[in-house]
A and B are shown apart, each in its own frame.
Chain A
Amino acid sequence: MIEKLSNLHDAIKNNVSSDDLIFIGGFGHLIPFYLAHELIRQNINNLSICRSGADILFDQLIASGIIKKVIFGYIGNPTVGLSHSFNRAYKSKTIEIEEWTNQSIIMRLHAARMGIDFIPSKILQIGNLPENIQFIKKIISPYTGQEYTAIPSLKPDVSLIHAQQADKYGNVQMWGIDGDTVEGALASDRIIVSVERIIDNIEIKDSPEKTIIPSHRVTNIVELPWGAYPSYVSGFYSRDDQHYISYDSVSRNESELERYLSEWVINVDNIELYMEKIGKENRLSLEKGLCGALDES
Chain B
Amino acid sequence: MKVNHREINPDKRIAMIAAMELKGYRSCFVGIGIPSDTACLAKDTIEPNINLIYESGAIGAMPKTKSYSTGSPSIAHGSDMITDSFSVFSDLQAGRIDVGLLSAAQIDIFGNLNSTVIGGYQNPKVRMVGSGGAHDIACLIPNLIILMPHDPRRFVEKVDFITSPGSGAAFDKLRVKYQLGKGPSILITDKAKFVMSPSGWNLDSILDDFTFEEAVEGIPWKLSVNNKRIKIDQDILSKVHSISGL
Q: Within 8 Å CB of B175, what residues of A?
A: 126
Interface assignment of A91: CB less than 8 Å from any CB of chain B: yes
Interface assignment of B171: CB less than 8 Å from any CB of chain A: yes
Interface assignment of B221: CB less than 8 Å from any CB of chain A: no
Q: Is the CB of B135 within 8 A of A129?
A: yes
How many residues on the B side are at the interface (Cβ–Cβ under 8 A)?
A: 58
Q: Is the CB of A177 within 8 A of B56?
A: yes
Given A239-B68, A290-B77, also A123-B136 (CB < 8 A): yes
Q: Is the CB of B86 within 8 A of A29?
A: no
How many residues on the A side are at the interface (Cβ–Cβ under 8 A)?
A: 61
Q: Is the CB of A238 within 8 A of B73?
A: yes
Interface assignment of A125: CB less than 8 Å from any CB of chain B: yes
Q: Within 8 Å CB of B135, what residues of A?
A: 101, 103, 123-124, 127, 129
**Segment of A80-88, A193-201, A202-210 in the binding face:** A80-88
Q: Within 8 Å CB of B86, what residues of A?
A: 106-107, 110, 180, 183
Which B residues between 63 and 121 are near A, CB-CB below 8 angstroms? 65-77, 82-86, 89, 92-93, 112, 116, 121
Q: Is the interface of B mostly helix, strand, loop or mixed?
A: loop
Q: Mark contacts of A131-146 with chain B using CB atoms, 8 A cut-off: 1 yes-contact digit, 0 otherwise.
A: 0100000000000001
Contacting residue for A177 out of B65, B75, B129, B138, CB 8 A: B75
Q: Is the CB of B179 within 8 A of A146?
A: yes
Q: Within 8 Å CB of A128, what residues of B?
A: 116, 121, 161-163
Interface assignment of B180: CB less than 8 Å from any CB of chain A: yes
Interface assignment of B128: CB less than 8 Å from any CB of chain A: yes
Contacting residue for A73 out of B56, B71, B132, B179, CB 8 A: B132
Q: Is the CB of B57 within 8 A of A297?
A: no
* Closest CB in chain B relative to A163 CB, distance in Å: 14
Interface assignment of A234: CB less than 8 Å from any CB of chain B: yes
Q: Within 8 Å CB of B161, what residues of A?
A: 128
Look across to chain A and name the residue whose beta carbon is closest to the beta carbon of B54: A177
Q: Within 8 Å CB of A91, what residues of B?
A: 123-124, 127
Given A52-B85, A177-B82, A182-B84, also A101-B127 (CB < 8 A): no
Q: Is the CB of B65 within 8 A of A290?
A: yes
Look across to chain A and name the residue whose beta carbon is closest to the beta carbon of B65: A290
Interface assignment of B148: CB less than 8 Å from any CB of chain A: no
Q: Within 8 Å CB of A225, what residues of B?
A: none
* Closest CB in chain A relative to B52 CB, distance in Å: 14
* Closest CB in chain B relative to A59 CB, distance in Å: 11
* Closest CB in chain A relative to B150 CB, distance in Å: 20
Given A102-B89, A180-B84, also A79-B69 (CB < 8 A): yes
Given A126-B180, A179-B84, also A74-B131 (CB < 8 A): yes
Which B residues between 193 and 212 are near A, CB-CB below 8 angstroms? none
Q: Is the CB of B85 within 8 A of A78?
A: no
Q: Is the CB of A79 within 8 A of B139?
A: no
* Closest CB in chain A relative to B9 CB, distance in Å: 17
Q: Is the CB of B76 within 8 A of A291?
A: yes
Q: Within 8 Å CB of A122, what residues of B?
A: 93, 139-140, 178-180
Can you list 15 contacts pairing A with B, beta carbon distance less than 8 Å? A27-B57, A28-B70, A78-B32, A78-B70, A91-B123, A99-B130, A102-B85, A102-B89, A103-B133, A125-B180, A127-B163, A127-B164, A129-B131, A147-B177, A244-B68
Known: A124-B135, A132-B121, A241-B68. 13 other contacts (CB 8 A): A28-B71, A29-B56, A29-B76, A72-B130, A76-B129, A103-B133, A121-B93, A126-B139, A127-B138, A127-B139, A128-B163, A129-B135, A244-B68
Using a CB–CB distance below 8 Å, which chain B residues touch chain A? Answer: 32-33, 55-58, 65-77, 82-86, 89, 92-93, 112, 116, 121, 123-124, 126-136, 138-140, 161-165, 171, 174-175, 177-180
